[in-house]
Structure 1
């Protein structure tokens, strides 16, 4: 005699930003000895939710989301949110095979020098590290600098069975000062800036200030400005 059964379980939505998780399982089989039971599974996976900084702040304060920072070590040390967990999606590549050495040299002479970016490779222990600290039911807010690494990390975690995941759209570079309590030598939105780009930015700021001061001096003190110009005649 055939036996038919079904089970359905769902995780309801506790936040305006999270979609529901629905898992539906059916099984159909016969009790005749020697016959196998055939299982049919249908699963609708929870989608990763992308939120802005203010919505992310509510997820942390109201819904109890934990913050997982997936940036590399250098950006994390420049600035990071207090009480976050650092699990880098990419780590510094210090391999010494010939191909890697060539690529690292080229990288350091351009992107590394100009933008202060490390030469990295995927972190082989990323998923294992997250699993060691969180269960699949944990509520996780994944953050990075521009939003790309957090999206990639969230997708990997979602595929591994994590059910409650959110990311900040465009990353920490879109966060205004004061939104989160942070630690580091700079603001969260500037943690991705390093190398000659920052030096150039400082030089531009100084030159801009000098030009503005010169303009104001000529405008409000034209006689003194003219006397100064006479001291340095045009060649």
Structure 2
């Protein structure tokens, strides 16, 4: 036989979903007692997506550790007690010209209105997780909306972690009191900041007008001066 490819599902049943482990043997010949040729052994684990209640059971019943992958600002506002924090994105403090321009624009819009920090992918994310957990560890990944935890789970899966779960749609779906938390606000509100939390849409509109005016005066001072001269006095 020129090659052998076999998939053997090894399932670990729980009340939630099944994590499948698939063993693949390629480009090799198998005989009783020994294997001939080149063999490539891979282990692939499916990420387990659960809701908040199922996630809480994974922690209590199956001993999953909570890994919060949000940025520091959201983590500081509110996080689950006794969780581990390794951000998938970190604040971008690079000082090249392109980054400075992007950071300025971001801070004047998304940062001002929604309190979102200017970030970049954490290059040490996987290594930081590996320094705290073994690949066999059971990890429940959480973020605010569910997107970052899914991306983080993909990175950890590629790095060899086999027991990963994520809360679908993130902490914004968590009901008050479901988890013991630390912080000044509820977990589901940790993603809210900036002008939109003060007076809602009215503040956002006014903020947009003020920022546009500021940018116009900054980049087109002569035109702004002419407009001011045309304005009625007294």
TM normalised by structure 2 equals: 0.76
Question: Where in structure 2 are the equivalents of 1:164-183 lying within 5 Å?
Answer: 164-183=163-182
Larger radius of gyration: 1
Q: Does 1:28 align with 2:29?
A: yes
Which residue number in structure 1 is paired with residue 58 of structure 2? 59
Q: Distance in 2 between matches of 1:192 and 1:6?
A: 46
Q: Distance in 1 between matches of 2:181 and 2:104?
A: 33
Q: Distance in 2 between matches of 1:82 and 1:12?
A: 31
Which residue number in structure 1 is paired with residue 196 of structure 2? 197
Q: Does 1:89 align with 2:107?
A: no
Residue 189 of structure 1: how far off its partner (Å): 0.4
Q: 1:84-129, CA deviations, whole angstroms, 9 ceiling, x for partnerless residues?
A: 0000000000011000000000000000000000000000100000
Secondary structure of the corresponding residue to residue 95 of structure 1: coil
Q: 1:54-79, CA deviations, whole angstroms, 9 ceiling, x for partnerless residues?
A: 00000000000000000000000000
Q: Distance in 2 between matches of 1:13 and 1:67?
A: 20
Structure 2 residues without counterparts, runs of 5 or longer: 204-234
Residue 49 of structure 1: how far off its partner (Å): 1.2
Structure 1 residues without counterparts, runs of 5 or longer: 31-36, 205-235
Residue 22 of structure 1: how far off its partner (Å): 2.6
Question: Where in structure 2 are the equivalents of 1:111-150 lying within 5 Å?
Answer: 111-150=110-149
Which residue number in structure 1 is paired with residue 226 of structure 2? none
Q: Is the CA contact (8 Å cut-off) linking 1:114 and 1:195 kept in structure 2?
A: yes
Secondary structure of the corresponding residue to residue 185 of structure 2: coil
Mark the CA change 1:128 to 1:44 in structure 2 (over 3 Å): closer, same or farther: closer
Secondary structure of the corresponding residue to residue 38 of structure 2: strand
Q: Is the CA contact (8 Å cut-off) linking 1:18 and 1:164 kept in structure 2?
A: no
Q: Distance in 1 between matches of 2:123 and 2:66?
A: 21
Q: Distance in 2 between matches of 1:81 and 1:202?
A: 30
Q: Distance in 1 between matches of 2:7 and 2:136?
A: 18
Instruction: Give me the CA root mean square deviation.
Output: 2.8
Secondary structure of the corresponding residue to residue 28 of structure 1: strand
Q: Distance in 2 between matches of 1:172 and 1:189?
A: 5
Question: Where in structure 2 are the equivalents of 1:148-227 lying within 5 Å?
Answer: 148-201=147-200
| More off after superposition, 50-59 vs 5-14 | 5-14
Q: Distance in 2 between matches of 1:192 and 1:43?
A: 38
Q: 1:174-194, CA deviations, whole angstroms, 9 ceiling, x for partnerless residues?
A: 111011110000000000000
TM normalised by structure 1 equals: 0.76
